[in-house]
Amino acid sequence: MALMKMKTLSLVGPLEEIEWAARHLLLRGTFQPLPLGMCVEDAGLRSGLTTVRENPYDEPLEKLESVWDLAGREIPEARPLAVDADLTPERAQAMVDQIVRKLTRWHRRSQELAESTDQLEAGCLFLEALARLKRKPSELARARHLVALFGRVDDENWSRLRDSSRDAPMLVLNLALRGKQRWLLILTVPAYLEGAKRLLDSLLFKAYSLDDLPQGSAAEALATLKKKLAHRQRAAEGLRRAVQDYLDSHGEELEALHSRLHSGQRIWEICREGGQMGRLHLVSGWIPADEVPQLKDTLAEGAPRTVLVVDDPDAEQVRRGLVPSVLKNLPLVRAFQDIVGLYSLPAYGESDPSFVVAVTFCLFFGFMFGDVGHGALLSLGAWWLTRKGTLPRGLGAVVQLAGAVSILFGFLYGSVMGREDLMEPLWLSPMHDTSALIAASLVTGVCCLSIAMILGLQESWKRRDGFDFLFGDKGLVGLALYWSAVLLGVFGLTGIGGDRAFSVAMTTTVLLALIFLLAGIVPRLLPGRDKEKDKGSAAVEGFSRFHHLFSFLSNTASFVRLAAFALNHAGLSMAVFLLADQASALPGGFVLEVILLVFGHALIVLLEGLIVFIQTLRLEYYELFGKFFRGGGRPLRPVPWGRASALYRYEKIKKGVLS
């Protein structure tokens, strides 16, 4: 239950074997390539290696995928295929060009039809507006002192145009709203035509020409345009069917080529970070250590001429945070990795706090939300939402476990749906044993903070930082000071041990506090240092240490919220039952009582459950993590099999990749 050990993996061999190995690494999904500059430090050697930054399979793959887009069909899922040595990027480009050449005329015709259809649809909409006004298109054309502009603008820019045109010599007529587009007829004087165009261009106004409208009345012209539009639509549909028929007749061939190109594109994505010298190719990257033995056996069989070099990350890479972090935990603990990730991923070499979070998160949540009925509703609701896909699987597992612990605390509190009179508590009743509940929350805080500080000592020991281990903010002296202050508080509040025990605790606490303060200040005042700089640093460090003294008290007091929200839960439940009892005396009281009970308990589970979840996160992040967890790790980013380039691909298609 920790961060996985990482290795740097370097492969040197013939290009065909490197591509075979890259395919194997790609399908395993655990290899993150390293740039050439990070894996080859020798400048002379690096200068002899050539790199190719552009993936040569991108363009042919995008061209081929545009065929399915032209037919209005989804791009098929690519299948991982073996490396085809004959399918070089140049040959792939030639094969795709040969296929696409057959579709180039269709593609261009499709663009022409789309533009013509758009123009005709706009003309029909304009003539429909004129028909409602009983005007002819020729009347606008003959106007000498008015210029007409027709087009569309999105709804957001429509309000801006309306405001901007109030003080301008232009009349804006809102003809129709289609989706989020406003179709407008704009009338202005010839002298202001250029100014009107500049204003409309700034608001992304799409203008349509009115010069080619048919003659006659608006109704007659509209009928003519509708006939043309129907003809264009039939032509577009025929073209689409032709492309679809082509796909149906050549589907297997095209899908096989698509899979080959996709495999090559993904494999090259691994190889592109490496370097090439003649037929030899170098690829290097990060891989989890437990993957290496199996990889060695696989490469020995499939790539016998390839040299495999495996190294541990060096200290400089670890210090700079360049080594990726991969978490590996038991299934129940794995769900809480997301909670850790919301704060930060552990740095490589740091302890993984997921197990600590799993235990303390459930403990804190159950303490504040302890109820058999509400905990069961929370767990069942999270299970149902996770099964429907509404709630992410990791978050759903966290809420289900938290709800299960809430059920356990419900038995300890004797609380069922907020009622504490249905069963005897196994421990205490929040509403009747308030003092004991507050004391239990403080004891929980002391134990959790102590464990967190011990974990911080462990981290300092791992870093071989002796001063921080002894005198750091969370060092051994700080831990002893905290325990001494806790004993001082216990002796003072309870009177245990009498005055002698209190005096010993007081003396010990004061001495440890002085050591804690001076340990940060004195080293910065020693001779041989920059006096001005060190005085300032000593003052800042002294203030910081003084602040940490008070944070011991505030961190512990913060755990009182465990008791406060446990009481809040009991109080809200009591309020729901009181409202329901009062409603039962009204006409139709039984129905109203049931409605209030259902709504009230649903509100408690949803709203208070969310609040308790947030408060639990606060205790984890602010009170515990600050004592032992640094974070700042980098996630492993292996080259995936799929590509997140759909938007880029379709933008290329719009620009006419096939033309």
**SS3 labels along 482-500:** HHHHHHHHHHHHHCCCHHH
Q: Which residues contact 64 (CB under 8 A, 6 or more apart)?
A: 96, 99, 100, 254, 257, 258, 261
Query: So what's the pLDDT on residue 6?
Result: 93
Same topology for domains 2-23+30-37+272-324 and 114-235, yes or no?
yes
Q: Which residue has the tokens 């907020």?
A: 418
Which of 615, 612, 617, 614 is closest to 572 using CA atoms?
A: 612
Q: 614: pLDDT confidence band, cut at 50, 70 and 90?
A: very high
Could you tell me if 358 and 9 are in contact, meaning their C-beta atoms sit under 8 angstroms apart?
Answer: no
CATH number for the domain formed by residue range(s) 2-23+30-37+272-324: 3.30.70.240
Helices (H), 177-217: 193-202
Q: Which two tokens stand for residue 408?
A: 């356990």
Which of 60-69, 135-144, 305-314, 575-584 has the least mean pLDDT? 135-144
pLDDT of 83 higher than 70: no
pLDDT of 606 higher than 80: yes
Query: So what's the pLDDT on residue 369?
Result: 95
Edge-to-edge strands of the sheet including 147-154? 170-178, 181-188, 147-154, 206-208
Of the two residues 162 and 444, the one the predictor is more confident about is 444
Q: Tell me the C-alpha distance between 232 and 218, whole Å.
A: 21
Per-residue pLDDT tens over the stretch 409-427: 999 999 999 888 889 999 9
Q: Taking the domains of the chain in order of start, what are their residue ranges?
A: 2-23+30-37+272-324, 114-235, 327-634
Q: 37: pLDDT confidence band, cut at 50, 70 and 90?
A: low
Per-residue pLDDT tens over the stretch 483-514: 999 999 998 888 888 888 889 989 999 999 89
Helix axes 560-583, 589-603, angle to 10 degrees: 160
| Sequential DSSP letters for 446-490 | HHHHHHHHHHHHHHHHHTT-HHHHHHSTTSHHHHHHHHHHHHHHH
Query: So what's the pLDDT on residue 39?
Result: 58
What class has domain 114-235? Answer: alpha beta
Q: Tell me the C-alpha distance between 193 and 149, whole Å.
A: 9
Cα distances from 8 to residues 11, 298, 312, 322, 324, in angstroms, run 10, 17, 6, 11, 11
Q: Tell me the C-alpha distance between 552 and 232, whole Å.
A: 78
Could you tell me if 656 and 478 are in contact, meaning their C-beta atoms sit under 8 angstroms apart?
Answer: no
Torsion of CA 243, 244, 250, 256, to 10 degrees: 100
Compute how many other C-beta atoms are within 10 angstroms of the C-beta atom of residue 280. Answer: 16
Q: Tell me the C-alpha distance between 204 and 220, whole Å.
A: 32
Of the two residues 584 and 574, the one the predictor is more confident about is 574
Mean pLDDT of the chain: 82
Query: So what's the pLDDT on residue 190?
Result: 83
Which of 226, 224, 199 is closest to 214 using CA atoms?
A: 224
Q: Which of 256-260, 432-436, 550-554, 583-587 has the highest mean pLDDT?
A: 432-436
Q: Tell me the C-alpha distance between 42 and 49, whole Å.
A: 11
pLDDT of 21 higher than 60: yes
Per-residue burial over 584-602, b if 16 or more Cβ lie within 10 Å, else e, is eeeeeeeebbeebbeebbe
Q: 133: pLDDT confidence band, cut at 50, 70 and 90?
A: low
Own/partner long-range contacts of 231-236 (Cβ < 8 Å, ≥24 apart):
232/113, 232/116, 232/117, 232/120, 233/117, 235/113, 236/110, 236/113, 236/114, 236/117
Could you tell me if 120 and 228 are in contact, meaning their C-beta atoms sit under 8 angstroms apart?
Answer: yes
Query: So what's the pLDDT on residue 436?
Result: 94
Q: Which of 23-27, 246-250, 303-307, 462-466 has the highest mean pLDDT?
A: 303-307
Average pLDDT on 439-446 reads: 95
Average pLDDT on 164-192 reads: 79
pLDDT of 241 higher than 80: no
Predicted TM-score of the model (pTM): 0.73
Q: Which of 188-192, 241-245, 518-522, 627-631 has the highest mean pLDDT?
A: 627-631
pLDDT of 5 higher than 60: yes
HSE-CB of 279 using CA atoms within 13 angstroms? 6
For 132, the 3-state DSSP assignment is: helix
Could you tell me if 273 and 33 are in contact, meaning their C-beta atoms sit under 8 angstroms apart?
Answer: yes
